Chains A and B, each alone.
Chain A
Amino acid sequence: EPEVTQTPSHQVTQMGQEVILRCVPISNHLYFYWYRQILGQKVEFLVSFYNNEISEKSEIFDDQFSVERPDGSNFTLKIRSTKLEDSAMYFCASMGGANEKLFFGSGTQLSVL
């Protein structure tokens, strides 16, 4: 079964450093998302991306965050200057079309020290 792939599975960084989290959505999917889950808390929506642009973002997704689809297969989340509170599991998700099911990757655990 096709799946969303995320790398790395665990990323450790120093506060203030830039990180890039990588995702390979399911082939032929058109809608891409990032969610995050702070330990013990809810899964929270960050941003959605369609047709090479952001279609929606939450208040969490401030100027420190950016997303990019640099080629036909990868989808990245960049955090420019990480803060301690950015420590969380970050999930990438993709969907084939409107009204279809949303599939999640296994996540990247980001630890900011």
Chain B
Amino acid sequence: QKEVEQDPGPLSVPEGAIVSLNCTYSNSAFQYFMWYRQYSRKGPELLMYTYSSGNKEDGRFTAQVDKSSKYISLFIRDSQPSDSATYLCAMGMDTGRRALTFGSGTRLQVQP
């Protein structure tokens, strides 16, 4: 079983839709969870960062963590064509380290 599983997509939605992106993980030692957005041939850009179960909201983005189920989600409200990118979940084990383990990424296409 892979440490972090993420559906690669592609996921195609119409503009304005609510998007749900998900990752599951197997290692209960993961304590920190992040979502990155990556445009083609660019570096990952941090969107959301959380270290506790529950929801965290930032503008149109909501990150959800359920440690008991080892499941994390990113919701994008009112999706825009500019949201079209690959979304990577990433997680880490230790407060002082960032040897992150990434998911394979979900490619999102928002159709105008």
Contacts and interface: CB of A to CB of B under 8 A. Distances in A.
A58 B105 CA distance: 21
A6 B44 CA distance: 13
Interface residues of A, number: 29
Interface stretch (B59-67, B70-78, B96-104): B96-104
A105 B49 CA distance: 18
Contact of A101 (B46, B97, B102): B46
**Does more than half of chain A's interface fall in helix, strand or loop, or is it mixed?**
strand
User: What interface size band does chain B fall in?
Assistant: 20 to 34
A49 B88 CA distance: 23
Contacts of A31: 96, 98
Contacts of A91: 43-44
A25 interface: no
A44 B104 CA distance: 10
Interface in A78-96: 89, 91, 93, 95
Interface of A: 4, 6, 31, 33, 35, 41-45, 48, 50, 55-56, 58, 89, 91, 93, 95, 98-99, 101-107, 109
